[in-house]
Structure 1
């Protein structure tokens, strides 16, 4: 027992500490548990078969192109951004597309056919216009007298007399059932129809609807370009001048208009239309020309007594042959000279004196 080496005794001295360390390590190892294994991660068959996961979605079927939809006779208005349920122009585009597809008409003839059909459906508007023209022609003499009296009062610079004459004219029109609101209604209805068709075709030209670039005829084969010969703009302006002259769209004829308005509608408006329409695509010019042609056909048809009786339009009282028929421009010049010769009123003199006083006060002092 005493012969045991000191080294062995020292090792026995540290033995309890080693035993405690080994025990602590064993305890820590026992507490470390693994909740998932690599088998659970790589089990693809079990994950796919799980009932908690939704099934894989099926890929969508490839959509048809614009050319395929047109070839199948389907509408492409929504694909091109040309359809809105609250816009009347969208329904007119739908009608154009239907006529072109189902009747197999070229695009220029499609525009003409749709324009004629819509104008025939709205035949009540020109009928109302002709009734207004006929009723105003019955009292042309009285209306001219009121206008002459107002001119005389204006020359005398008598504003009170002008107001009295206007009140008399208003009472006279009411007694004869001539209401200017109806004339405004006719103009508003024609403007709404024109705007609907105009913007419908314009948007189709802007997006280059398939077929418009080759749907023309004669010299205007491309309906998306302007007319290089200015023929269609000239025809549109000329036919519009004739429509204004016969008064089929405005509820009044040219001879019943004031001189300034008559001069503008006879000479100024066609020039404006020619300048504006020369910048439009030929598709719009085709529509404009077709619409004016329908108006002229209406004007010619309403000259037939049988047709007027069918629609209940009274006859138009012709202008007396002894009436002084001056040109509109000469009447405008005469009216301008008469207005220049009118003496200034007291209000005008006071305004001139006030302007001169302000100008003298702001000027340099007199030395």
Structure 2
């Protein structure tokens, strides 16, 4: 027993001798016990201070079976039980979905994308969130997650591919008439006959409207796929640069680490080869033999070779998405070549035109480049000629009048002037 307990006991004995009741003594003992707890004192577990009716202090055992009869058990105060902790409110709606996503991430044993600075509500962040959900919910490796995400996106834009294929078939079947009008329009423009060129251009517009042909429809799939490709590209690049630890062994075959470039350069080669086939076959746009692709086909064919030095250093995750997208495109065009499928989607059958029936003859690479260069030179000369004509017209309107007659036509002529002019005219006739 410490000094604080002795002081409390003395105070209690003094109060007892001064004639206080047992309840007061019990309150005093309770106060002393609270004081001991606040002071950090620990009382002996087997001794409790008790007071007899005569006011003398004594100690007894803490057990109730050994408690003296002088102390009544009714005077003991029992503290109420500690209430249980309140239950948190049940999550509903969006909170429930968020909690399920957090639980899935925790079950996968990986940190969430939000904790490492990925995800969000931007297009790139939404792509990352979707891939995280697929990977963590179904425990799919990252290469499978990227392939599934690519397949879903390509399925969504598949109606646009059908629209482009319909337009491409119509352009192929009406190629001779369109090439003829284009040649006439080009010749009129090169000869400087703007009126004739505008007339042929109007005829071309009317013809395409009657046949339901629109060259811009061939570009609808690349334009729709561009923002999706950029979102996937930036999202996967951020995931590889952060990096996401599970992507280090989430690859397949020889490219197990998706955060690093392919050490054998096999993925860049596959990506470039499938891109070339996609451009050549015309999966997402018109075929290269179409009338509107003659000037760009060589540039598009060289594109896979040009981008290869850049793609060889890309992380394997980006090339996995790119190669999957190209393979899906090739599968779609193979499916759309089946006659039954083309009939179901109302795509016209492609007609094969003999080279002799086409106004424009096929030329090689060198011949095509020469023709393009000649057209550029002629176009530049026509523009220079028009510019000079405009300058001369402006000078004629603002400069002094040029004298074109030997006499002033605004003044009356005399008889002598008339005789002189008649003599000059007769001499010229002789």
TM over 0.5: yes
In structure 2, distance between residues paired with 1:165 and 1:70: 64
Structure 1: runs of 5 or more not aligned: 1-44, 46-66, 355-367
Q: More deviation in 103-112 or 281-290?
A: 103-112
In structure 2, distance between residues paired with 1:329 and 1:290: 35
Aligned to 1:283: 317
Aligned to 2:227: 192
Aligned to 1:78: 114
Aligned to 2:289: 255
In structure 2, distance between residues paired with 1:299 and 1:346: 43
Per-residue CA shift, 1:281-305, capped at 9, x if unaligned? 1110111011000001111111101
Cα shift at 1:124: 0.8
Q: How does 1:126-137 map to 2 (within 5 A)?
A: 126-137=161-172
Per-residue CA shift, 1:208-252, capped at 9, x if unaligned? 1121122122332221122233221121111111111122212x1
Q: Structure 1 residues 349, 130: closer, same or farther in 2, change over 3 A?
A: closer
In structure 2, distance between residues paired with 1:234 and 1:271: 10
Structure 2 residue 133 is the aligned partner of structure 1 residue 98: yes
Cα shift at 1:122: 2.6
What SS does structure 2 have at the residue aligned with 1:344?
helix
In structure 1, distance between residues paired with 2:246 and 2:129: 15
What SS does structure 1 have at the residue aligned with 2:209?
helix
What SS does structure 2 have at the residue aligned with 1:108?
helix
Task: Find runs of 4+ consecutive structure 1 residues off by over 6 angstroms.
Answer: none
Structure 2 residue 373 is the aligned partner of structure 1 residue 336: yes
Structure with higher RCO (Cα < 8 A, 6+ apart): 1
Aligned to 1:206: 241
Cα shift at 1:72: 2.1
Q: More deviation in 217-226 or 313-322?
A: 313-322
Aligned to 1:301: 335
Aligned to 1:310: 344
Q: Structure 1 residues 188, 282: closer, same or farther in 2, change over 3 A?
A: same
Structure 2 residue 206 is the aligned partner of structure 1 residue 171: yes
What SS does structure 1 have at the residue aligned with 2:222?
helix
Q: Structure 1 residues 328, 306: closer, same or farther in 2, change over 3 A?
A: farther
In structure 1, distance between residues paired with 2:324 and 2:185: 41
Per-residue CA shift, 1:95-127, capped at 9, x if unaligned? 222222233322122211221222123321211
What SS does structure 2 have at the residue aligned with 1:216?
coil
Q: Structure 1 residues 111, 327: closer, same or farther in 2, change over 3 A?
A: farther
**Contact kept? 1:82, 1:204, Cα under 8 Å:** yes
In structure 2, distance between residues paired with 1:149 and 1:226: 52
What SS does structure 2 have at the residue aligned with 1:260?
coil
**Contact kept? 2:141, 2:251, Cα under 8 Å:** yes
Cα shift at 1:162: 2.7
In structure 1, distance between residues paired with 2:362 and 2:222: 26
In structure 1, distance between residues paired with 2:138 and 2:190: 63
**Contact kept? 2:249, 2:257, Cα under 8 Å:** yes
**Contact kept? 2:104, 2:137, Cα under 8 Å:** no
Structure 2 residue 197 is the aligned partner of structure 1 residue 162: yes
Q: Structure 1 residues 188, 349: closer, same or farther in 2, change over 3 A?
A: closer
**Higher-Rg member (1/2):** 2
Q: More deviation in 205-214 or 314-323?
A: 314-323
CA RMSD of aligned residues (A): 2.9
TM-score by length of 2: 0.60
In structure 2, distance between residues paired with 1:311 and 1:89: 33
What SS does structure 2 have at the residue aligned with 1:225?
coil
Cα shift at 1:76: 1.2
Structure 2 residue 282 is the aligned partner of structure 1 residue 240: no
**Contact kept? 1:131, 1:313, Cα under 8 Å:** yes
Structure 2 residue 150 is the aligned partner of structure 1 residue 109: no
Cα shift at 1:255: 0.6
Instruction: Name the count of aligned residue pairs.
Output: 285
Q: Structure 1 residues 318, 89: closer, same or farther in 2, change over 3 A?
A: farther
1:217 pairs, out of 228, 232, 252, with 252
Aligned to 1:264: 299
In structure 2, distance between residues paired with 1:349 and 1:161: 16
In structure 1, distance between residues paired with 2:314 and 2:388: 47
Q: Structure 1 residues 298, 69: closer, same or farther in 2, change over 3 A?
A: closer
Q: Structure 1 residues 343, 314: closer, same or farther in 2, change over 3 A?
A: closer
In structure 1, distance between residues paired with 2:313 and 2:229: 18
